[in-house]
Chains A and B, each alone.
Chain A
Amino acid sequence: MDAAVVIEKLSKSFGSTRALDGLDLEVKVGEVHGLLGPNGAGKTTTLRVLLGLLRADSGVVRLLGGDPWRDVGRLHRRLAYVPGEVTLWPNLTGGEVIDLLGRLRGGLDKKRRADLLERFELDPTKKARAYSKGNRQKVALVAALSSDVELLLLDEPTAGLDPLKDEVFRECIVELREQGRTALLSSHILSEVEALADRVTIIRDGRTVEVGSLAEMRHLARVTISADLAGAPDGLTTMPGVHNLRVDGNHVDFMVDPDSLDQVLITLTSVGVTSLTSQPPTLEELFLRHYGDERSTAHAEQAVTP
């Protein structure tokens, strides 16, 4: 078995709302997989289906080789979950919640629990109602990370954490990957996914729009080029694959499709290049490319409407 999670053509509706609409997702064993999407894209719904909390309308869902709807007890012993919205029983202390969830899962590592409490600087004697949002998040993180499970399902796990604890979280994820464990990390924080994830699935409106390693995705995305030329950039305006071209005398800024890059560089050098910087696409640009569509289309339509 080389896939911890396999989802094919998963659909799920709530009444007339279609939350998931043919979603595909594959998480390989031993990788940290980023699940990226804007609010309402279906990230939490996907995780809840994986936990057997929601029943899939159609599609294939396999989790650790089992059926998440049927094999709850067996599968859940092997995974830990950090919910997107952490609500704790107000009259239990953080320490009690951590122990309880660990025991219900089948045990937790006391040494790691103590270590994590220290690293996250969490006071386990406080009643849950007295915790701030970030501290509630820490309780859920310590509960999940101090168990010896194969798979972690993390739904926007750093919401409310301060930057220092954010860094602690990242260290923990790196450690667990070194131990050969798997994590599915749902997030809309690009820098986090960029720093941690081996591969990324981008979803939108309940559908998968892009899958791959960040390197692969970058390869598909446009490169930003800024150059000073020896003469006027005549040929560039009509070239296929060139976008957002701005010409300022002999200075050009533009984006170029990866498969046109070679042709564009030839054109540039034929004019003569005095300086050139190129930037690989950031995840933000990947993200905007998929999510920005609708907005830019809407803008365009608005623009033509008299």
Chain B
Amino acid sequence: MSSLVGTAALVRLALRRDRIILAVFIVILVVMVAASASATVKLYPDNASRVKTAAAINSATSTLALYGPIHDVTSIGALATFKVGMMGAVAVALLALFVVVRHTRSEEETGRLELLGATVVGRRAPLTAALLVAGGASIVAGVGTALGLIAVGMPVAGSVLMGLGYACLGIAFAAVAGVTAQLSRSARTAAGLAGVVLGASYLMRAIGDASAGNGLGWASWLSPVGWWQQTRPFAGDRWWVLALLLGVAVAVSALAYVLATRRDFAAGLLPDRPGPATAAASLRSPLALAWRLKRGALLAWAAAFVVVGLVVGGLTSSVSSFLTSPQAKDIFTMLGGEQSIRDAFLAVELGMAGVIASVYGVQAAMRLRSQETALHAEPVLATAVGRVKWAWSHLTIALAGSALLLVVVGVSAGLVSAVQVGDIGQFGRILVAALVQIPAVWLIIGIVAAAFGLVPRLIVLGWVALAGFVLLGEFGALFNLSQVIMDISPFAHVPRMPGGDFSVAPMLWLTAIAAGLIVIGLAGFRRRDVG
């Protein structure tokens, strides 16, 4: 197979480049899964409390949509991993798709693969090496997870199935990224497309799991993430579902190879069309340039947020359909009736929308650094444009874009929910609940701006901060962290709406801190060297 020659060398190169990030990622994943499983078990010492909790989880649309149901309310393992299991699965899928894009299309786009391709490297070697590294990383993550769960006392069979599920899901999304890397000439778009596939899979599973009572349970079976959920570790251990994931991985990889051999080096599947010979009259400021560079991605994000809003809004009516068991009915009454449960569901989902809007905000703000390192900032800064004006242009898109996403999700969820519930007041309540997320998102963008100005090489701190805040919110209570530590996360200060009390104070000071961080970042950027 001469088309595979050089694969081993490319695998070694990829491992050399990624050894630290892969190791850190996998260790954090394994520790999080094992530690949170162990901590959850301690929270519920006896069987009765576990069953009660599991029943409550299964009756809340919010948890069903986010994490899926607990298929066996008596299983300690299923309860211990219901939340961290799903988060870990998404994390492994993300890892796999980023690794593949990083070692295929990114290398091609930057021209580094050209340098390698001229050596003894076969046509199929780069894709193969990327798939091997991503698949290998998924397997290591899976094995580590299984060992970690066994180590904290989880049943062996379920632990192994959980680990294998991670490995297979990772391999499947590596294959998906293998395909998207062939489609677009831009690594950013390739990763984005693979992310859309992951997001859609998650959403289908959320619809299926949350609307099983309405006969939509089949939607989970259209989704690889749903298949992972349907392996039901610790709650029936359905090993055969893994075959579905592997089957798709093989089929999709085959497609990736077909596409890869049909296109030219550095080309996408669509040829480049000629563009305008002169710039539009509006393209005359750094902001216009930033908008031009980012508008496509922002519109795609906005479209995704419309879909998320429609799904979340649509699910509000199915909130009461799960109330079949007596325990659930008790909890239902205890929580204050239908409106209250619906509100709790919306608050959780819109909080999640805030986190995802932060993901947009962080990557949009980090474009500052990538524009700088790609030497795209230099020609602009050599014109009459000042540094602050240039940096502010990209921050404007990040700030306004993330706010726009939350408006979009609020409007679409509000409209659907208002129709379903038959109450026009619902629209305003949901829109406000979406908008209160904005200051927290801006604060995280502020962190990116400050890192860009003061410690540009550590710009990745933006992602670290966002991941840290999410973990604090999800698992802080589980690990008994003090409120002071939990309050580090800006999301902890967002009013829980709808349902909760609106208070303007946290909105104001979150925004003030965001503004302060941005000012610090811009001031730092004015003082430092560019490049």
Could you tell me which A residues sit within 8 Å of B by CB distance? 14, 48, 51-55, 72-74, 76-77, 79-81, 83, 85-93, 95-101, 103-106, 123-127, 129-130, 140, 143, 153
Contacts and interface: CB of A to CB of B under 8 A. Distances in A.
B129 to A, nearest CB: 24
A90 B186 contact: yes
Contact of A124 (B109, B278, B285, B378): B278
A53 B380 contact: no
B119 interface: no
Contact of A129 (B272, B283, B284, B387): B272
B279, B284, B380, B381: residue with the most chain A Cβ atoms closer than 10 Å: B279
Contact of A95 (B277, B378, B385): B277
Given A90-B186, A96-B283, A101-B383, A54 B277 contact: no
B278 A53 contact: no
Contacts of B285: 104
A153 B292 CA distance: 28
A103 B384 CA distance: 9
A67 to B, nearest CB: 14
B272 A130 contact: yes
Contact of A89 (B109, B274, B376, B385): B376
6 contacts: A72-B387, A90-B109, A95-B277, A96-B278, A124-B277, A129-B185
Given A83-B378, A104-B380, A125 B276 contact: yes
Interface string B236-277: 000000000000000000000000000000000000111111
Contacts of A104: 284-286, 380, 383-385
B374 A100 contact: no
Interface of A: prevailing SS: mixed
Given A48-B378, A51-B378, A140-B379, 20 more contacts: A53-B381, A55-B529, A74-B384, A79-B382, A85-B375, A90-B186, A95-B277, A99-B279, A99-B283, A100-B289, A101-B379, A104-B286, A104-B380, A104-B383, A104-B384, A105-B383, A105-B384, A126-B274, A127-B273, A143-B379
Counting from the closest, the 9 A-B pairs by CB-CB distance are A99-B279, A93-B275, A104-B383, A81-B382, A125-B274, A96-B279, A95-B277, A53-B530, A103-B284
Interface of B: 109, 185-186, 272-280, 283-286, 289, 292-293, 374-376, 378-387, 527-531
Contacts of B275: 92-93, 95-96, 125-127
A95 B384 contact: no
Contacts of B293: 89, 91
B283 A83 contact: no
A117 B272 CA distance: 21
A271 to B, nearest CB: 59
A147 to B, nearest CB: 9
Contact of A90 (B185, B276, B375, B380): B185
B378 A93 contact: no
B80 to A, nearest CB: 47
Contact of A76 (B109, B383, B531): B383
A95 B276 contact: yes
Contacts of A73: 384-386
Contacts of A100: 279, 283-284, 289
A185 to B, nearest CB: 16
Nearest to A104: B383
B379 A95 contact: no
Contacts of B386: 72-73
Contacts of B276: 93, 95-96, 125
A76 B385 CA distance: 8
Contacts of A81: 379, 382
B268 to A, nearest CB: 10
A265 B381 CA distance: 57
Contacts of B278: 95-96, 99, 124
Nearest to B284: A103
Contacts of B387: 72
Contacts of A153: 382
A153 B378 CA distance: 13
Contacts of B283: 96, 99-100, 103
B527 A55 contact: yes
A51 B382 contact: yes
B288 to A, nearest CB: 8
Contacts of A86: 379
Contact of A125 (B277, B289, B530): B277
Contacts of A85: 375
B531 A95 contact: no
A93 B277 CA distance: 7
A54 B272 CA distance: 36
Contacts of A126: 272, 274-275
Contacts of B379: 81, 83, 86, 101, 140, 143
B381 A51 contact: yes
A190 to B, nearest CB: 26
Contacts of B286: 104
B384 A76 contact: yes
A15 to B, nearest CB: 11
Contacts of B280: 96
Contacts of A129: 185, 272
